[in-house]
């Protein structure tokens, strides 16, 4: 779908599919994300590459799924944080856009300029996070080839179904 300014928009997750996310407590969402990210990012965490998030609160909001994750780094691991309105950095986008970023099919700068990805809060922290993600060697993470393959196969279908 295109807007009149030729800025591509992302498909929204239909409410009927987003609704089940609301049945799980937010704490469970955050804990599942943290377990997954700790596994994927274990090498980077051990090397201290994410220490810039120590004592900082990052909120990740998936708009069309109506879910929020709140994380920080403590003791060399990502940890869940209480979900409230305070954060050092908030990142907000639709599910499709986060999946496009994870598959490396879209550049974060492009999504920001298209207003599909919103970052609010500490600009320096946001730049550190972006630089970390840009330099991340996902191929060394054992699950990435599987995730990338799955995303490459499913994203076109996602767009066709929900655009």
Please check whether residue 41 lies inside any domain of the structure.
yes
Q: What is the pLDDT of residue 2?
A: 47
Question: How many domains, the chain?
Answer: 1
pLDDT band at 13 (very low <50, low <70, confident <90, very high): confident
Please check whether residue 141 lies inside any domain of the structure.
yes
Burial class (CB in 10 A: 0-12, 13-18, 19+), 135: exposed
Please check whether residue 117 lies inside any domain of the structure.
yes
pLDDT band at 125 (very low <50, low <70, confident <90, very high): very high
The mean predicted confidence, pLDDT, of the chain is 86
What global pTM score does this model have? 0.85
Please check whether residue 8 lies inside any domain of the structure.
no
Q: What is the pLDDT of residue 163?
A: 79
Mean pLDDT, rounded, for 101-113: 88
pLDDT in tens, 33-87: 899 899 888 888 999 999 999 999 999 999 999 899 999 999 999 999 988 878 9
- Contacts of 32 by beta carbon, 8 Å cutoff, 6+ apart: none
Residue 157: pLDDT over 60 = yes
Please check whether residue 7 lies inside any domain of the structure.
no
User: Can you give the residue range of the structural domain that contains 135?
Assistant: 15-162
Q: What is the pLDDT of residue 80?
A: 93
Task: Say which CATH number the domain at 103 has.
Answer: 3.30.1050.10
Residue 118: pLDDT over 90 = yes
Please check whether residue 131 lies inside any domain of the structure.
yes
Helices (H), 1-55: 15-23, 26-40, 42-46
Please check whether residue 130 lies inside any domain of the structure.
yes
């Amino acid at each position: 779908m295109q807007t009149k300014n030729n800025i591509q928009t992302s498909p929204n997750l239909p409410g009927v599919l987003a609704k089940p996310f609301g049945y799980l407590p937010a704490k469970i969402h955050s804990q599942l994300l943290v377990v997954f990210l700790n596994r994927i990012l274990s090498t980077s965490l051990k090397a201290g590459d994410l220490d810039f998030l120590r004592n900082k609160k990052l909120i990740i909001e998936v708009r069309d799924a109506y879910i929020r994750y709140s994380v920080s780094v403590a003791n060399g691991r990502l940890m869940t944080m209480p979900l409230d309105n305070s954060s050092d950095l908030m990142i907000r986008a639709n599910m499709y856009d986060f999946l496009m970023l994870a598959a490396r099919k879209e550049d974060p700068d492009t999504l920001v300029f298209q207003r599909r990805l919103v970052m609010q809060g500490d600009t320096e922290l946001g730049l550190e996070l972006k630089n970390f993600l840009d330099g991340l060697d996902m191929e060394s993470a054992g699950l990435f080839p599987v995730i990338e393959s799955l995303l490459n196969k499913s994203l076109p279908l996602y767009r066709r179904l929900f655009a």
